[in-house]
Structure 1
Amino acid sequence: MPRKSRNAVIGVDIGTSSSKGVLVGLDGALIRSAVREHTPTRPGPGRFEMDASVWWQEFCALTRELTGPDDTTVLAAGVSGMGPCVLLTDEHDTPLRPAILYGVDTRSVRQIRRIEERLGAEEIIRRCGSALTTQAAGPKIAWVAEEEPGLYARARRLYMPSSWLVRMLTGTYVLDHHSASQCTPLYDTLAGEWYDPWAAEVAPGIELPPLRWSGEAAGTVTAEAAAATGLPPGIPVTTGTIDAWAEALSVGAQHTGDLMLMYGTTMFLIHTVPKPLTSPSLWGTVGALPGTRNLAGGMATSGAVTNWLRDLFADGDHAELTRLAAESGPGAGGLLMLPYFSGERTPIMDPDARGVIAGLTLSHTRGDLYRAALEATGFGVRHNIEVIEEAGGDIRRVVAVGGGTQGAPWTQIVSDITGRQQEVRSITIGASYGGALLAAQLVGEAGIDDWNPVRETVRPRGEHRRRYDELYGLYRRLYRETSATVHALAPLQQR
């Protein structure tokens, strides 16, 4: 007797190092998950790019794998992706060059200075919510216009990973409000719409996409997309958003006072605030949902540093190195690391910052180095939290999400360093699950507390507070005392 088909939704996220997809029942149960790994290209120092064809090819592979067994009926699809990225296409939606990635790509420093001189740094913060940094999409567009003028002359449309998937699935040209709010200085966060005078100044000739909210339907799956993906034709697709904001939705961290910590290749922090707040050291954005506002931060590396260490040790793997880090203990045997291996985003906003490992001796071990990397992330989180609160934020609850929450001491170390407890939900797979939640809300009712209840609460251990307070002071001092040296070294790495 044939098995009865189960109704489900699909969520897919295009991340920095992989694309992830989930098939989820309408009750929130995770039916299947799948991953495709990839690596951004690095055409030069400080440059990170990716071909949009990778996003679509991996989306199709994921959906075909997830829907392969004939035991589910997919009712809707949700999408998200890293960002803000800049993918420019011509009027036929043919990509003109690989996409320039978010703040890990630091090529646009000269364009930032020029735009600030033209528009005014303080006025940009007031209108757009954020200072102009290498995180913003606007200067990346300006870089293409200045450095590749022949190519830019053919550019007509702007896409990000999530909106590109929407285009390929539905034929619709659209972007969500949150992603737009990271296109500084093109979007007015006070008015909630594109700011045409500055768009014409920074991105001339680009037809900016119509705006919708992340959970709104962008369109339905076309017959052509259905043939490529295995999805049913005619099902709705969410407008989608940037991955970190989908991560926050996946664990219910979108209420006033919430702070989401995303443990991944990079570390991201999203604090939900009742009114617009600005800081030159953070990003003020609109939220993924209507009526929400955020003050956000992001570290350029976190898990990327632990991956780097794993790859340095030929016989290393994360499980073994985590065990050795636990044996090392608080303070990593007197090692202190600055995690600025790809420059740093918030709160120091320094693309020329570099990683520093201080205190090395011949007696230090792999475990000490790995522990120092985990603690460096904790110190970076504490620095961001302090700046969020200095800007007027009021953090009442911290929710953790991402691969770094699974079976490792990372969350405990961060709680010990920050003195904050963290909620960990049952499912921490992240953005793809958040996309599935929004997809489910297109076809019925779905609430995160029913879908994904709290699994555990990580509480800070008071016995380590004095040690970490002392190390945190040294951490802050170490950047100040080494910045001149690493800034002098940074240009040598461009050759």
Structure 2
Amino acid sequence: MGTGSTKGVLVDISGTVIASEAIAHGMDLPRPGWAEADAEGMWWREVCAISNALMSQLPPGGRVAGMCVSGVGPCLVLCDSDLRPLRPAILYGVDTRATEEIASLTEEFGESKILERAGTLLSSQALGPKLEWVRRHEPHVFDAARGWYGSNSYIAAKLTGEYAIDHHTASQCDPLYATRELDWNYEWAQRICGPLPLPRLVWPNEVVGGVLPEAAAATGVPEGTPVVAGTVDAYSEAFSVGVRRPGDQMLMYGSTMFLIQVIDEYHSDPTLWTTAGVDRDSLALAAGTSTAGSLIGWLQKVTGGASFEDLMAEATGVPPGCEGLLVLPYFAGERTPVFDPQARGVVAGLTLRHGRGHLFRAAYEGISFGIRQILERFDDAHAGNRTVAVGGGLRSPIWAQAVSDITGRPQLVPEQAIGASYGDALLAAIGVGLVPPSTDWAKIAREIKPDPRNRALYDDLYDTWRELYPATKPQVHRLAATEPG
């Protein structure tokens, strides 16, 4: 269950995709800074529809051995005792409502202690402040709640009735989880959750339970089918393309950029997220931007709605560096590495000679400069030695090449690009014992290599790009304060 759609696959134990289904959806943006989803009306309904469609394509004589669901995260789904959501799900870091709660909890627990215990400073990505926001602003909801869930753990509960959450998702529920110990931080969790019980912790490839009769009727999946816990969609996608060893990286080109790197020992950085990994007892670093493909889509809309092909043709005709044009892509605030919901987009160097193609290429380059900034922080923990690129943004002839040119890193593009649902299928196969835990279905189709002719130009522009945010921060913060709401 991703930001823009829910996707499902039916896969055999060799990794061959037998059938796939997808349903497009959006997120609800009821107020500035809010991002929500209907957990039951959208996520559960779409899981049921896709599961029924996939079951109808099961080969004759075949049977479903296991099921696994991943989803956007970390999200907050508060439910009553009958597993009915009490309010719309509050989404991950794109929802920035809990700014005051981030500040108050940071003051209460101490910034250095949070970094030491959770591995990550509190930001809009953290779930703890969102729980605190509901307690403060919607006490009737908080008091009626009997459990809290992420997107995938909510679906697992609907399927099995089990109250459990995977370690990775829990490790993004800062400051409720102690990442160094791979366990709940019980003192802080009790302070924030109050009477709400903590879910049972499981690893993403562990079986949570079997499909209940009512869930079987809704999904078409046979009663008793084992359900594997799953995890946050980006991590399941990384798992699907073989990003499992220390130094392995995944760059996900989507509505936002999401980056993951597996590390071999605990490392915390205030500008990154330190999390539990997908494999048992593993660790990872993560980072995410607030815009990427969403910025390109916005530009396409406001510049006249030309076709993607026409826009890319114009942008391809613009030389690297866009003839002195730079874009700071903080059009929806920014997550890593600045963690500033009041950051805003900046276009610098614009002249009358620049056209639409310049703006599009400069936006791609601005996003790519941000990726370089994040990867340099990853290197402080463990030098990246293998970068795998995934996501719909790879269809742009400019974007991934700009990332390789600006970062100096080659990128491997896998043959199978279905994404998180393919990783879910592998987690299910491992979880029910059909394949060994080390199984990797990923096959590399091509490599994107850096063009050395552009390195000196981009090194120079990168230095200027890094100066833009601190140089304009006071001004854009004042402008952000004048926005409605």
With the length of structure 2 as denominator, give the TM-score of the two structures: 0.96
Cα drift, residue 204 of structure 1 = 1.2
C-alpha RMSD of the superposition: 1.6
Structure 1 position 50 matched with structure 2 position 64? no
Q: Which of residues 283, 286, 311 is equivalent to 1:321?
A: 311
Structure 1 position 37 matched with structure 2 position 24? yes
Q: Which of residues 304, 308, 331 is equivalent to 1:341?
A: 331
Percent of residue pairs bearing the same amino acid type: 46
Structure 1 residues 447 and 460, CA gap change in structure 2 (3 angstroms) = farther
Q: Which of residues 449, 455, 459 is equivalent to 1:465?
A: 455
SS at match of 1:319: helix
Cα drift, residue 175 of structure 1 = 0.2
CA contact under 8 A between 1:252 and 1:448: conserved in structure 2? Answer: no
Corresponding residue for 1:6?
A: none
Q: Return the alpha-carbon distance in structure 2 between the equivalents of residues 404 and 222 of structure 1.
A: 38
SS at match of 1:73: coil
Q: Return the alpha-carbon distance in structure 2 between the equivalents of residues 312 and 170 of structure 1.
A: 46
CA contact under 8 A between 2:169 and 2:231: conserved in structure 1? Answer: yes
Q: How many residues align?
A: 481
Cα drift, residue 404 of structure 1 = 1.7
SS at match of 1:75: coil
The one-letter code matched in structure 2 to 1:93 is L
Structure 1 range deviating more: 133-142 or 436-445: 436-445
Structure 1 position 22 matched with structure 2 position 15? no
Structure 1 position 373 matched with structure 2 position 363? yes
Structure 1 position 209 matched with structure 2 position 189? no
Q: Return the alpha-carbon distance in structure 2 between the equivalents of residues 407 and 479 of structure 1.
A: 26
The one-letter code matched in structure 2 to 1:234 is G
The one-letter code matched in structure 2 to 1:94 is R
Q: Which of residues 452, 475, 478 is equivalent to 1:485?
A: 475
Corresponding residue for 1:10?
A: none
Cα drift, residue 66 of structure 1 = 2.4
The one-letter code matched in structure 2 to 1:69 is Q
Structure 1 position 122 matched with structure 2 position 112? yes
Cα drift, residue 144 of structure 1 = 0.5
Structure 1 range deviating more: 62-71 or 468-477: 62-71
CA contact under 8 A between 1:170 and 1:222: conserved in structure 2? Answer: yes
Q: Return the alpha-carbon distance in structure 2 between the equivalents of residues 376 and 348 of structure 1.
A: 15
Q: Return the alpha-carbon distance in structure 2 between the equivalents of residues 358 and 410 of structure 1.
A: 20
Q: Return the alpha-carbon distance in structure 2 between the equivalents of residues 73 and 408 of structure 1.
A: 41
Which digits, 9 at most, give the CA deviation of each residue in 1:85-112, with x for residues without a partner?
A: 1111122222110011111111111111
Q: Return the alpha-carbon distance in structure 2 between the equivalents of residues 418 and 341 of structure 1.
A: 22
Q: Which of residues 386, 406, 416 is equivalent to 1:427?
A: 416
Cα drift, residue 446 of structure 1 = 5.8
SS at match of 1:368: helix
Structure 1 residues 332 and 34, CA gap change in structure 2 (3 angstroms) = farther
Cα drift, residue 123 of structure 1 = 0.4
Cα drift, residue 334 of structure 1 = 2.6
Structure 1 range deviating more: 307-316 or 447-456: 447-456
The one-letter code matched in structure 2 to 1:421 is P
The one-letter code matched in structure 1 to 2:361 is R
Q: Return the alpha-carbon distance in structure 1 between the equivalents of residues 419 and 55 of structure 2.
A: 20
The one-letter code matched in structure 1 to 2:49 is A
Which digits, 9 at most, give the CA deviation of each residue in 1:387-439, with x for residues without a partner?
A: 2223x332111111112224633211100000011111111221111111111
Cα drift, residue 448 of structure 1 = 7.8
Which digits, 9 at most, give the CA deviation of each residue in 1:115-174, with x for residues without a partner?
A: 111111100110111011111000000001011112211122111111111011111111
Structure 1 position 414 matched with structure 2 position 399? no
The one-letter code matched in structure 2 to 1:177 is H
Corresponding residue for 1:364?
A: 354
Q: Return the alpha-carbon distance in structure 1 between the equivalents of residues 257 and 312 of structure 2.
A: 18
Which digits, 9 at most, give the CA deviation of each residue in 1:6-35, with x for residues without a partner?
A: xxxxxxxx1111111122222112222222
SS at match of 2:83: coil
Cα drift, residue 447 of structure 1 = 7.4
Corresponding residue for 2:229?
A: 239
Q: Return the alpha-carbon distance in structure 1 between the equivalents of residues 46 and 397 of structure 2.
A: 29
Q: Return the alpha-carbon distance in structure 1 between the equivalents of residues 63 and 329 of structure 2.
A: 45
Which digits, 9 at most, give the CA deviation of each residue in 1:309-360, with x for residues without a partner?
A: 2222444233332232212231223321111111111111111101112222
CA contact under 8 A between 2:83 and 2:158: conserved in structure 1? Answer: no
Q: Which of residues 170, 180, 187 is equivalent to 2:170?
A: 180
Structure 1 residues 104 and 315, CA gap change in structure 2 (3 angstroms) = closer
